[in-house]
């Protein structure tokens, strides 16, 4: 049992109260009990709750806690579904909910500057007054906050077309675990620290301000709903819609259990607007948008035709805004509606490549049947994200065991099908063990080294995301790297030999980025990446391509065009690896799905894959954006593609002009030690004698 005496009286209490005021430090039992749980299943009580009324208060309080060795974690609405805001080691809960100012809406620059406690829906309502919107729209948006959305890299129905949270943030102001205040943006020179923070669940820092991308509302938005005799028919229609080159604003699937629960919970007027024909076992909810009504109507007609070919019982278009709202109320109210059917709901969050979604559905149903569990099935179907809502009673210990076993089997199924254990809900406490199935020991060790680089004392939301000691290496990883070409294997062997001899290397490609000093060939042994020139796989059904890092950008563009596809990459000199490592075109991160990397010792690590959503662990791939070969050597890249002629969001972003020279931040340098402790790769960037 944790003791609260550290906060009862004395110097620490006086120091914290001098910053936030005595009325904002709570240690009474009733208050602590309120913060001992979130929307997940885990429970743990803090020693104190500290409430903030100004963003300037956060850093001094964090410094005080860090100096005393007291664990802490940020908390807002508490809607976390994986136990990420549970204080496992006691310490302090940092209540940021009153930091809820929308500081600026700049429609000219298309930026909204907000504090972390701003509720997602409130931001949408304010933006709507100016004819703008913020794309991430999780189902919890009526209560979930921007800070929580950033911590979990939240998605929502609209992320199919407009991307998840990380795609829609320009800059973050962050209080690091040691109490430093930093402002990081993804366009900054060097490795992308900002994007690493997104989805890190408060383990690497606390967001106090966020500069968000906002967009003009489309002139036309239409909503259609298709009723199907089976969920399998609905998922088949999803595959055909995307395969036809249509990218809807949203594409959501619900089975009959979820639908009936949602309709029972809907208000009378809303329920009347959502009738479905007899025999309906599932629905697809489809939004399309655009600048022209004619194009939007044409897409809806094609979608309706596809649905009817997949045995839809009916396809109807909402006649007005009230009917649109009613349809979406049913979808976004499904989780709370399921919660009314039983004392508890477990929401799983696996994600798979979209073409294998039917297989994932089949296996999920078999698992639920095996454990005799009732669940409603909800899908962000367009991006392969499954949300089985399993109802149960936590007072029945045997049922709880069955629920946990079923959840783990569903996650293993997703991994086996080439997916991930989380698309948007995070890992928190409840999926830590499953990280063993996603990653081998070397990858988990690197995640741990990244955590240590930011938080040497392990005080920021400790024991989250990664397996604790007793659970480490619980089983071999199910995630297998893709096949490597001969050139990649040779490069790995060469790095291993150099690592054994402690030889420093100058990583060199075609030289179009100009990152290597003129005398590098004399001072260091060069490592030529140009033989990495093979396009390894085109998954046309999933709209992904996997290629080696030395493939020229223009060559890949031409190759994809012949296949009727586009990568959204700009027409520019250089290779794929050079484009990423130099950050010559920052929006490349938006189409980056997977990466194989050679480390300085010749080992290989794999991150990401072929899914458009993945929040299992830190987003290490983003650190290689701007890493200039100093953290590791990029071997292969998996990129999202689209039909030729489809306007990608990234493609609209102009090429970046040459920015300021990269000067490593203290945290860049710490990360260099985590990735390459002997400074063997491109050593001039972080100092000739090492880091």
Q: Are 191 and 626 a contacting pair, CB within 8 Å?
A: yes
- Coil, helix or strand at residue 85: coil
Query: Domain residue spans in the chain?
Result: 5-95, 102-216, 220-337, 342-431, 486-685
Bigger pLDDT: 536 vs 654: 536
- Coil, helix or strand at residue 392: strand
CA distance 525 to 688: 14
Model pLDDT, residue 535: 96
Closest by alpha carbon to 53, among 25, 81, 27?
25
Write the Ramachandran bin of 161: left for phi over 0, alpha for psi from -120 to 50, otherwise beta: alpha
Residue 179 burial (CB count, 10 A) = 17
What residue has token string 């909402």? Answer: 318
pTM comes to: 0.94
Beta partners for residue 604, in sequence order: 598
What is the mean pLDDT of the segment spanning 558-564?
93
Bigger pLDDT: 543 vs 519: 543
CATH fold for domain 102-216: 3.30.465
User: Any residues with CB less than 8 A from the CB of 688 and at least 6 apart, and which?
Assistant: none
CATH class as words, domain 5-95: alpha beta
Model pLDDT, residue 335: 80
CA distance 650 to 647: 8
Closest by alpha carbon to 446, among 243, 672, 640?
672
Model pLDDT, residue 471: 73
Q: How confident is the model at residue 39 (pLDDT cuts 50, 70, 90)?
A: confident
- Coil, helix or strand at residue 585: coil
Q: How confident is the model at residue 644 (pLDDT cuts 50, 70, 90)?
A: low
- Coil, helix or strand at residue 66: helix
**Among the listed ranges 77-86, 262-271, 376-385, 631-640, which one has the minimum average pLDDT value?**
262-271
Beta partners for residue 209, in sequence order: 173
Q: Same CATH topology for 5-95 and 342-431?
A: no
Percent of the chain with pLDDT over 70: 92
> DSSP per residue over 11-30, as a string?
HHHHHHHHHH-GGGEE--HH
What is the mean pLDDT of the segment spanning 113-122?
98
Write the Ramachandran bin of 311: left for phi over 0, alpha for psi from -120 to 50, otherwise beta: left
Structure tokens at 276: 């479905």
Beta partners for residue 102, in sequence order: 114
Task: Give first-to-last CA distance, the chain, whole Å.
Answer: 41
Query: DSSP letter at 11?
Result: H
What residue has token string 């293993």? Answer: 412
Burial of 13 (0-12, 13-18, 19+ CB in 10 A): middle
Model pLDDT, residue 647: 42
Which CATH code fits 486-685?
3.30.465.10
Structure tokens at 107: 């429609």
Which CATH code fits 342-431?
3.30.70.2740
Q: In this model, does residue 655 exceed pLDDT 50?
A: no
Q: In this model, does residue 1 exceed pLDDT 60?
A: no
pLDDT in tens, 283-307: 999 999 988 888 899 999 999 999 9
> DSSP per residue over 470-521, as a string?
GGTT-S-----PPPPPHHHHHHHHHHHHHHHHT--EEEESSSTT--S-TTHH
CA distance 154 to 116: 14
What is the rounded average pLDDT for all residues in the chain? 90
pLDDT in tens, 145-201: 999 999 999 998 999 899 999 999 999 999 999 999 999 999 999 999 999 999 999
Q: How confident is the model at residue 514 (pLDDT cuts 50, 70, 90)?
A: low
Q: Are 632 and 597 a contacting pair, CB within 8 Å?
A: yes
Query: DSSP letter at 96?
Result: -
Q: In this model, does residue 249 exceed pLDDT 90?
A: yes
Q: Are 611 and 593 a contacting pair, CB within 8 Å?
A: yes
Pick one of 3.50.50.60, 3.30.70.2190, 2.40.50.100, 3.90.550.10 as the CATH number of 220-337: 3.30.70.2190
Model pLDDT, residue 512: 58
What is the mean pLDDT of the segment spanning 258-276?
68
């Amino acid at each position: 049992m944790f003791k609260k005496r550290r906060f009862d009286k004395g110097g620490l209490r006086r120091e914290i109260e001098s910053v936030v005021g005595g009325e904002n430090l709570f240690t009474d039992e009733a208050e602590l009990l309120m913060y001992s749980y979130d929307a997940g299943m885990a429970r743990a009580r803090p020693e104190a709750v500290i409430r903030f009324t100004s963003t300037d208060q956060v850093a001094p309080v964090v410094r005080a806690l860090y100096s005393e060795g007291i664990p802490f974690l940020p908390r807002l609405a508490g809607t976390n579904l994986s136990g990420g805001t549970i204080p496992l080691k006691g310490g302090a809960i940092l209540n940021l909910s009153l930091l809820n100012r929308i500081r600026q809406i700049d429609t000219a620059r298309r930026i909204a500057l907000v504090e972390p406690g701003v509720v997602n829906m409130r931001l949408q309502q304010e933006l709507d007054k100016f004819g703008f919107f913020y794309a991430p729209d999780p189902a919890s948006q009526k209560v979930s906050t921007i800070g929580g959305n950033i911590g979990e890299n939240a998605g929502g129905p609209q992320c199919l077309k407009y991307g998840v949270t990380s795609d829609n943030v320009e800059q973050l102001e962050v209080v690091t675990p040691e109490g430093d205040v930093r402002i990081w943006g993804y366009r900054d020179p060097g490795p992308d620290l900002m994007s690493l923070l997104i989805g890190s669940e408060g383990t690497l820092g606390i967001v106090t301000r966020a500069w968000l991308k906002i967009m003009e509302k489309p002139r036309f938005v239409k909503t259609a709903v298709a009723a199907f005799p089976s969920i399998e028919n609905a998922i088949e229609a999803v595959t055909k819609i995307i395969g036809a080159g249509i990218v809807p604003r949203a594409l959501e699937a619900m089975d009959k259990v979820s639908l009936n629960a949602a309709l029972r919970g809907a208000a009378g007027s809303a329920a009347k607007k959502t009738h479905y024909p007899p025999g309906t076992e599932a629905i697809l909810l489809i939004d399309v948008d655009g600048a022209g009504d004619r194009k939007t109507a044409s897409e809806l007609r094609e979608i309706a035709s596809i649905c009817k070919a997949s045995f839809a019982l009916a396809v109807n278009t909402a006649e007005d805004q009230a009917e649109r709202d009613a349809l979406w109320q049913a979808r976004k109210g499904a989780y709370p509606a399921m919660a009314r059917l039983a004392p508890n709901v477990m929401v799983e969050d696996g994600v798979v490549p979209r073409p294998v979604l039917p297989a994932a559905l089949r296996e999920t149903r078999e698992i639920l049947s095996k454990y005799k569990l009732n669940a409603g099935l909800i899908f962000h179907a367009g991006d392969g994200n499954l949300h089985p809502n399993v109802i149960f009673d936590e007072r029945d210990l045997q049922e709880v065991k069955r629920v946990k076993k079923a959840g783990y089997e569903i996650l293993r199924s997703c991994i086996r099908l080439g997916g991930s254990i989380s698309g948007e809900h995070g890992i928190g406490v409840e999926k830590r063990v499953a990280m063993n199935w996603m990653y081998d020991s070397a990858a988990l060790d690197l995640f741990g080294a990244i955590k240590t680089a930011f938080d040497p004392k392990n005080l920021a939301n400790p024991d989250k995301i990664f397996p604790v000691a007793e659970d480490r290496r619980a089983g071999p990883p199910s995630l297998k790297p893709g096949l490597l070409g001969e050139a990649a294997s040779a490069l790995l062997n060469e790095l291993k030999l150099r690592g054994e001899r402690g030889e420093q290397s100058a990583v060199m490609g075609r030289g179009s980025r100009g990152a290597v000093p003129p005398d590098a060939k004399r001072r260091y042994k060069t490592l030529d990446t140009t033989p990495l020139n093979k396009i390894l796989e085109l998954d046309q059904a999933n709209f992904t391509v996997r290629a080696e890092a030395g493939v020229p950008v223009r060559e890949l563009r031409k190759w994809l065009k012949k296949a009727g596809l586009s990568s959204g990459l700009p027409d520019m000199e250089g290779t794929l690896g050079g484009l990423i490592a130099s950050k010559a075109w920052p929006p490349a991160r938006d189409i980056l799905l997977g990466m194989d990397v050679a480390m300085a010792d010749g080992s290989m690590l794999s991150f990401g894959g072929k899914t458009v959503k993945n929040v299992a662990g830190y987003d290490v791939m983003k650190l290689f954006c701007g890493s200039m070969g100093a953290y590791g050597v990029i071997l292969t890249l998996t990129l999202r593609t689209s039909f030729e002629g489809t306007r990608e969001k990234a493609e609209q972003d102009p090429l970046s002009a040459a920015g300021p020279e990269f000067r490593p931040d203290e945290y860049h340098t710490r990360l260099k030690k985590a990735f390459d402790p002997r400074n063997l790769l491109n050593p001039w960037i972080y100092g000739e004698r090492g880091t």
